[in-house]
Amino acid sequence: MYNQRPKVLIVGTFHFEESPDMIQTDTGDIFSQHRQKEVLLAAEKIAAFKPSKVAVEAVKTEEDALNKTYEDYLTQHVTLPASEIYQLGFRICEAMAHEKIYAVDWMDDIGNKSIGDVLEWAKANQTDMYDLITGFYIPQITPELKGLSIVEGLIHINQKERLQVEHELYLHIAQISDGTNYVGVDWVRWWYQRNLIIFNNIMKLAENTEDRILVLIGGAHVHLLSQFLKESGRADVEKVEDYLS
């Protein structure tokens, strides 16, 4: 139905600073001279996509504050915080002479259990699933970045095999339950809702078929966002390896 569609490039990232996420990474000192060179190279490679808009993993309601920080960076050359939102997102926007950066995330509470609550319940009530998740899945997908450059780390994060295993993790979490007490589903429904809202916010940026939208977001989101975008029939999803290799 739609012959010409906006292009979307999803770059799954790891967090450059400490976060509350289930999957933690250690990049070392992102402000060190060699890491900063690596960040600049990564930004340069990703910017080759020539995005018309850059979307990042910041809460949509905080977009105005995010853009005030971006304006201060451009005009006052303030030091960028450690987060990949700034280290990569701001630098790519600057390289493309963009006046604005876009926040697409959503983190509202819908009364669901937290992931911590779910895993604690599994530890006490469903030890086989808890052991599988914490003993196999989480170690399998936790990036080991020591000795890797930022570009190499991003390539690792975006490997199809790793993304598939990461998606399997969430479907295993959905199986944490007892009878009709669907403990894991209570959190996974929030996870799907969050990603559907991110998808919605991305599509709102596609104002015309010429748009090229770059999405910088945690690697855990890549599988679902790619699925939603492709299956919507409204966007072409670019291959990240074409830009990071």
DSSP characters over 116-136: HHHHHHHHHH-HHHHHHIIII
> Which pLDDT tens digit goes with each residue over 150-183?
999 999 999 999 999 999 999 999 999 999 999 9
- Quick one: DSSP state of residue 239? P
| Highest-confidence segment of 80-84, 142-146, 189-193 | 189-193
pTM over 0.85: yes
Question: 62 and 103 in contact (C-beta within 8 Å)?
Answer: yes
| The pLDDT value given to residue 17 | 63
The torsion of the CA quartet 227, 233, 59, 49, rounded to 10 degrees, works out to 90
pLDDT at position 22 is 47
